[in-house]
Amino acid sequence: MPSNNLLLANKIIVVTGAVGILGTQFSKCLYNAGATVILTDLALADCIKLKQQIAIGSKRLIPMELDIAEKLSVITFINNVKKKLGRIDALINNAVLRAPADDDLFSRKSEDFFKTTDVNVNGTFLITQAVAKIMKKQRSGTIINTGSIYGVVSNDQTLYPQGFANYDYYCFHKGGILNFTRFLAATLGKYNIRVNAISPGGILWTKQGGGVARDKEFRKRYNARVPLGRMANPDEINGALLFLLSDAASYITGHNLVVDGGWTAI
């Protein structure tokens, strides 16, 4: 396999939710691997700021505004990409919207559930459908969906501080994304389009956001349950991403690559 700085040379890759914690990691990783990265998120200004953080002035970082939950926004985005670049080699479905953590199954407001579903499920469908049409014409492409261990198993609620164990909508959405991945792989394979998912376990975010991962007692309980004894460092998901995008994974489709330190093995 080529060195990382040549691995994705000449590839045009769309990242949704690029300015989020994991999206930022992915965007930097893809850029460093030689790809042209289309940085998309709700606010163009945030995408421009991310470009400046990664490499000011680089022609391989292209900020674009995109609301995947709005069909008109998706259509406009696709038309702009066609006009500027002509093709899309890969799509990283990474955008996610979270609901208030202090609502549980019994108190979850329906409007919050519907709002998160619009992004996490409906939006993923809309952008995937639009990009798959381009890839079908190209007879090539790769789609990677960001899943979660909570799409594979439910969360262990005994580990979480009060108010942080409420993953009702998240388990619902991520479980659906994983089976959608399998459906897409079965449907699009004849067009030489590979579709896979990456399901991270707990990630140690300490600087940007971080949520429950910043709670030391939670981390202690979480780490004790993981065979490798710790949460992932933010850059430890990058290897799975690079592998599934590379030619080394040319015969892999419909797979969910779990990166969880062994969490789901026990």
Q: What mean pLDDT is predicted for residues 111-132?
A: 96
* Mean pLDDT value across the chain: 93
Q: What mean pLDDT is predicted for residues 15-30?
A: 97
Percent share of the chain, pLDDT over 90? 80
Q: What digits encode the pLDDT tens for the residues 175-196? A: 999 999 999 999 999 999 999 9
Q: What mean pLDDT is predicted for residues 61-81?
A: 98
Looking at residue 105, the DSSP 8-state letter turns out to be T
Q: Is the pLDDT of residue 25 over 70?
A: yes
Indicate the pLDDT class of residue 166, thresholds 50, 70 and 90: confident
Matching residue, tokens 């492409």:
141
Q: What is the per-residue pLDDT for 129?
A: 98
Q: What digits encode the pLDDT tens for the residues 197-248? A: 999 999 998 655 556 666 888 899 999 999 999 999 999 999 999 999 999 9
Q: What mean pLDDT is predicted for residues 14-36?
A: 97
Q: Is the pLDDT of residue 89 over 70?
A: yes
Question: What token pair was written down for 223?
Answer: 């780490």
Residues taking part in catalysis: 170
Name the residue type at position 263. W
Q: What mean pLDDT is predicted for residues 246-252?
A: 97
Q: What is the per-residue pLDDT for 209?
A: 53
CA atoms of 221 and 229, how far apart (whole Å): 10
The structure's pTM equals: 0.95
Other CB atoms within 10 A of residue 216 CB: 8
Complete domains list, the chain, with CATH: 12-260 (3.40.50.720)
Indicate the pLDDT class of residue 2, thresholds 50, 70 and 90: very low
Q: Is the pLDDT of residue 165 over 70?
A: no
Residue 78 CB-half CA count within 13 A: 18
H helix runs in 21-153, sequence order: 21-32, 44-55, 71-84, 110-117, 124-138
Of residues 71 and 156, the one with the higher pLDDT is 71
Q: Is the pLDDT of residue 60 over 60?
A: yes
Q: What is the per-residue pLDDT for 213?
A: 67
Q: Is the dihedral of CA 256, 211, 125, 250 positive or negative?
A: negative
Indicate the pLDDT class of residue 70, thresholds 50, 70 and 90: very high
Q: Is the pLDDT of residue 1 over 60?
A: no
